[in-house]
């Protein structure tokens, strides 16, 4: 986990505990968040035009469990009340 990674870095800096460095765990977590976002942009193939060229929500994935009319439920699902709980 990120916490274990950070605590390992902290112990590598000073394992005696006499000179405890200032906590930078928030900065490390922010860096990991940014790295994951850039990695996701790269993997999806949309990051090559630059991060600012992308639109909000471009990495979103449609939930396969959620009902999408015409995809995983009939388009006229609201007309078939008797079959409402069958699908």
Has this prediction a pTM greater than 0.85?
no
Percent of the chain residues past pLDDT 90, beyond the cut: 1
For the cut 70, the answer to whether the pLDDT of residue 86 exceeds it is: no
3-state SS class at 67? coil
DSSP labels, 6-44:
HHHHHHHH-SSSSSPPPP-HHHHHHHHHHHHHHHHHHHH
Give the pLDDT band of residue 87 (cuts 50, 70, 90).
Answer: low
The pair of structure tokens assigned to 62 is 């449609």
Domain range for residue 22?
2-83
Looking at the 3D structure of the chain, how many domains does it have?
1
Sign of the torsion formed by the C-alpha atoms of 1, 61, 44 and 50: negative
Chain centroid to Cα 11, Å, comes to 29
- Per residue in 15-56, pLDDT (tens digit) is 787 877 788 888 888 988 988 888 888 787 776 777 677 778
- Per residue in 33-43, pLDDT (tens digit) is 988 888 888 78
3-state SS class at 62? coil
């Amino acid at each position: 986990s990120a916490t274990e990674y950070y605590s390992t870095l902290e112990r590598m800096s000073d394992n005696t505990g006499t000179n405890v460095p200032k906590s930078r765990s928030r900065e490390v977590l922010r860096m990991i968040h940014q790295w994951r976002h850039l990695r996701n942009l790269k993997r999806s193939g949309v990051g090559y035009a630059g991060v600012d060229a992308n639109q909000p929500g471009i990495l979103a994935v449609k939930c396969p469990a959620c009902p999408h009319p015409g995809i995983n439920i009939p388009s006229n699902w609201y007309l078939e009340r008797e079959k409402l709980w069958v699908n």
